[in-house]
């Protein structure tokens, strides 16, 4: 499985791009930005978007993706999300006020986007990939994703504070090759992390203790809030966690 980091930060600010991960060129995990794609050719390959939750740093590019797809008749994009997330996208973004309802445009027969509800325990299948949604603990309904191709699996935490189910899923996945875990604030802002339901490096380490991490499994940390990147990076480096990589925009992994 090819994992390409289009953006890995918890906001978009001065050179930091908000979260979007491209898998095998056709599945986007969250849609915080697509500005690092090179041209319409790469863009056109994207057929599916899985949205972990509707915070802006995870959906910001979706309205513009939808609009661009108006130009590509018969090439609608399938948007996977929980019932709550899809309801919010319809109600608050694609509502004809903030942005057009691209689930009926350019025509109801060939809309730019189709919504597909993804539920815990009921995976969806796309071009050889299986996508499972696993609830996590955040300030709005949110899930992480377990994505597998039959040979390897990648776990994506989405935004979460201390949680459990997704780590149980990690422990039940024998072919897990990479675990993406969020870390948003430095240790001194633990209180803010708890209130906003995110992790600090110390909280991240507590979460990782819940996972039986096999040798060779990559731990990929992401979702740093831009004002604290240097501070968080320093704290994580000092922890010297085996196999942990702090992601950067543009990284590519074969897992
Ligand atoms: Zn976020
Ligand atoms: Zn969030």
Q: How many CA atoms lie within 13 A of 29 on its CB side?
A: 26
**Phi, psi at residue 99, to the nearest 5°?**
-155, 155
Q: What is the pLDDT of residue 72?
A: 73
In terms of residue numbers, what domain contains 170? 2-254
The helix-helix angle for 201-208 and 229-239 (nearest 10°) equals: 40
- The number of helix segments (H) and strand segments (E) in the chain equals 8, 14
Positive or negative, the CA dihedral 205, 133, 251, 159 is: negative
Average pLDDT, the chain: 96
Give backbone dihedrals phi and psi of 207, rounded to 5 degrees, phi first: -65, -40
Entry pTM? 0.96
Which secondary-structure segment (H or E) carries 93?
none
- State the distance from the centre of ligand 1 to the C-alpha of 188, rounded, in angstroms: 19
User: Which residues lie at CB < 5 A from ion ligand 1?
Assistant: 10, 55, 57, 159
Please write the tens of the pLDDT for every residue from 135-175. 999 999 999 999 999 999 999 999 999 999 999 999 999 99
Domains in the chain, number: 1
Q: What ligand is nearest to the CA atom of residue 55?
A: 2
Residue 9: CATH number of its domain: 3.60.15.10
In Å, how far from its chain's centre is CA 117? Answer: 16
Where is 114: in which H helix or E strand? strand 113-117
Q: Are strands 153-156 and 143-148 parallel, antiparallel or unpaired?
A: antiparallel
């Amino acid at each position: 499985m090819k994992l390409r980091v289009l953006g890995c930060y918890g906001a978009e600010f001065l050179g930091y791009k908000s979260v979007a991960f491209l898998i095998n060129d056709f599945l986007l995990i969250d849609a915080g930005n697509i500005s690092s794609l090179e041209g319409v050719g790469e863009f056109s390959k994207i057929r599916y978007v899985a949205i972990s939750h509707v915070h802006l740093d995870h959906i910001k590019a979706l309205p513009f993706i939808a609009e661009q797809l108006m130009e590509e008749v018969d090439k609608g994009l399938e948007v996977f999300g929980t019932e709550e997330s899809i309801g919010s996208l319809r109600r608050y973004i694609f509502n004809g006020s903030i942005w057009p309802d691209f689930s009926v445009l350019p025509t109801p027969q060939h809309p730019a986007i189709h919504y597909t509800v993804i539920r815990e325990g009921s995976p969806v299948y796309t071009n050889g990939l299986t996508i499972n949604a696993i609830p996590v603990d955040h300030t709005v309904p949110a899930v992480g994703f377990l994505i597998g191709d039959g040979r390897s699996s990648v776990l994506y935490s989405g935004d979460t504070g201390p949680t459990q189910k997704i780590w149980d899923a990690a422990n039940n996945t024998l072919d897990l090759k990479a675990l993406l875990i969020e870390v948003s604030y430095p240790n001194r802002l633990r209180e803010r992390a708890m209130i906003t339901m995110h992790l600090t490096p110390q909280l991240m380490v507590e979460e990782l203790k819940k996972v039986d991490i096999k040798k060779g499994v990559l731990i990929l940390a992401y979702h740093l809030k831009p004002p604290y990147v240097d501070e968080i990076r320093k704290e994580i480096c000092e922890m010297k966690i085996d196999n942990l990589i702090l992601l950067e925009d543009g990284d590519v992994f074969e897992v």
